[in-house]
Structure 1
Amino acid sequence: MKTKFNGILTLILVFAVQICFAQDKSISGTVSDASGLPLPGVNIVVQGTTNGTQTDFDGN
Protein backbone atom coordinates (compact mmCIF):
# COMPACT_ATOMS: atom_id res chain seq x y z
CA MET A 1 0.00 0.00 0.00
CA LYS A 2 2.83 2.39 0.87
CA THR A 3 4.57 1.68 -2.46
CA LYS A 4 1.37 2.44 -4.38
CA PHE A 5 0.97 5.75 -2.50
CA ASN A 6 4.59 6.72 -3.24
CA GLY A 7 4.11 5.95 -6.94
CA ILE A 8 0.96 8.07 -7.17
CA LEU A 9 2.60 10.92 -5.27
CA THR A 10 5.60 10.80 -7.60
CA LEU A 11 3.36 10.99 -10.68
CA ILE A 12 1.48 13.97 -9.27
CA LEU A 13 4.74 15.80 -8.54
CA VAL A 14 6.09 15.08 -12.02
CA PHE A 15 2.95 16.50 -13.65
CA ALA A 16 2.99 19.56 -11.38
CA VAL A 17 6.61 20.32 -12.30
CA GLN A 18 5.88 19.94 -16.02
CA ILE A 19 2.94 22.34 -15.79
CA CYS A 20 5.06 24.92 -13.97
CA PHE A 21 7.88 24.80 -16.53
CA ALA A 22 5.48 24.76 -19.50
CA GLN A 23 4.53 28.37 -18.79
CA ASP A 24 7.78 29.76 -20.19
CA LYS A 25 8.07 29.58 -23.98
CA SER A 26 10.38 31.42 -26.31
CA ILE A 27 9.37 32.41 -29.83
CA SER A 28 11.76 33.86 -32.37
CA GLY A 29 11.59 35.01 -35.96
CA THR A 30 11.81 37.97 -38.29
CA VAL A 31 9.00 40.40 -39.10
CA SER A 32 9.09 41.33 -42.77
CA ASP A 33 6.91 43.17 -45.28
CA ALA A 34 5.36 41.76 -48.47
CA SER A 35 8.61 42.16 -50.40
CA GLY A 36 10.66 40.32 -47.74
CA LEU A 37 12.43 43.32 -46.21
CA PRO A 38 12.77 43.23 -42.39
CA LEU A 39 10.66 45.73 -40.43
CA PRO A 40 12.46 47.47 -37.52
CA GLY A 41 10.51 48.87 -34.57
CA VAL A 42 7.38 46.71 -34.88
CA ASN A 43 5.46 46.14 -31.64
CA ILE A 44 4.57 42.49 -31.00
CA VAL A 45 2.03 41.64 -28.27
CA VAL A 46 0.85 38.22 -27.11
CA GLN A 47 -2.86 38.08 -27.89
CA GLY A 48 -5.05 38.53 -24.82
CA THR A 49 -2.19 39.75 -22.59
CA THR A 50 -0.05 42.83 -22.03
CA ASN A 51 3.18 40.86 -22.68
CA GLY A 52 5.10 42.06 -25.68
CA THR A 53 8.31 43.26 -27.24
CA GLN A 54 9.64 45.31 -30.15
CA THR A 55 11.71 44.23 -33.14
CA ASP A 56 15.29 45.41 -33.51
CA PHE A 57 16.94 47.04 -36.54
CA ASP A 58 16.98 43.70 -38.41
CA GLY A 59 13.32 42.88 -37.67
CA ASN A 60 14.17 40.16 -35.15
Structure 2
Amino acid sequence: MLESSNSDFNELKVSHRKSEIDIHSQITENISSPIEVAEVIEDKLRKRDMDAEIASGEPGMANMRR
Protein backbone atom coordinates (compact mmCIF):
# COMPACT_ATOMS: atom_id res chain seq x y z
CA MET A 1 0.00 0.00 0.00
CA LEU A 2 2.85 2.38 0.80
CA GLU A 3 4.40 1.70 -2.60
CA SER A 4 1.11 2.64 -4.24
CA SER A 5 0.99 5.90 -2.28
CA ASN A 6 4.56 6.77 -3.25
CA SER A 7 3.83 5.96 -6.88
CA ASP A 8 0.70 8.11 -6.85
CA PHE A 9 2.61 10.94 -5.19
CA ASN A 10 5.43 10.76 -7.76
CA GLU A 11 2.93 10.76 -10.62
CA LEU A 12 1.24 13.80 -9.10
CA LYS A 13 4.60 15.59 -8.82
CA VAL A 14 5.39 14.86 -12.48
CA SER A 15 1.94 16.01 -13.56
CA HIS A 16 2.29 19.15 -11.45
CA ARG A 17 5.66 19.99 -13.03
CA LYS A 18 4.35 19.40 -16.57
CA SER A 19 1.49 21.75 -15.77
CA GLU A 20 3.96 24.44 -14.65
CA ILE A 21 5.96 24.05 -17.86
CA ASP A 22 2.80 24.25 -19.99
CA ILE A 23 1.66 27.40 -18.18
CA HIS A 24 5.08 29.00 -18.63
CA SER A 25 5.24 28.27 -22.37
CA GLN A 26 1.70 29.58 -22.95
CA ILE A 27 2.44 32.82 -21.12
CA THR A 28 5.86 33.60 -22.56
CA GLU A 29 4.43 33.64 -26.08
CA ASN A 30 2.39 36.78 -25.30
CA ILE A 31 4.43 38.67 -22.66
CA SER A 32 7.94 39.97 -23.09
CA SER A 33 8.89 41.33 -19.65
CA PRO A 34 10.38 38.71 -17.29
CA ILE A 35 8.64 40.39 -14.35
CA GLU A 36 5.26 40.19 -16.09
CA VAL A 37 5.88 36.54 -16.94
CA ALA A 38 6.76 35.73 -13.32
CA GLU A 39 3.67 37.52 -11.99
CA VAL A 40 1.31 35.79 -14.40
CA ILE A 41 2.86 32.39 -13.71
CA GLU A 42 2.59 32.95 -9.97
CA ASP A 43 -1.09 33.90 -10.29
CA LYS A 44 -1.91 30.89 -12.47
CA LEU A 45 -0.04 28.47 -10.20
CA ARG A 46 -1.76 29.89 -7.12
CA LYS A 47 -5.16 29.47 -8.78
CA ARG A 48 -4.33 25.92 -9.85
CA ASP A 49 -3.21 25.04 -6.31
CA MET A 50 -6.39 26.53 -4.83
CA ASP A 51 -8.52 24.56 -7.29
CA ALA A 52 -6.65 21.37 -6.36
CA GLU A 53 -7.19 22.02 -2.64
CA ILE A 54 -10.90 22.59 -3.18
CA ALA A 55 -11.14 19.43 -5.31
CA SER A 56 -9.37 17.41 -2.61
CA GLY A 57 -11.82 18.58 0.02
CA GLU A 58 -9.52 21.10 1.73
CA PRO A 59 -11.14 24.42 0.81
CA GLY A 60 -10.11 26.11 4.08
CA MET A 61 -6.58 26.89 2.95
CA ALA A 62 -7.71 27.91 -0.54
CA ASN A 63 -10.30 30.30 0.84
CA MET A 64 -7.75 31.95 3.13
CA ARG A 65 -5.58 32.83 0.12
CA ARG A 66 -8.35 34.28 -2.04
Pairwise TM-score range, normalised by the shorter structure: 0.3 to 0.5
The structure with the larger Rg is: 1
> Higher helix proportion, which one?
2
TM-score (norm 1): 0.40
Of structures 1 and 2, the one scoring higher in RCO (CA 8 A, sep 6+) is 1
Greater per-residue strand proportion = 1
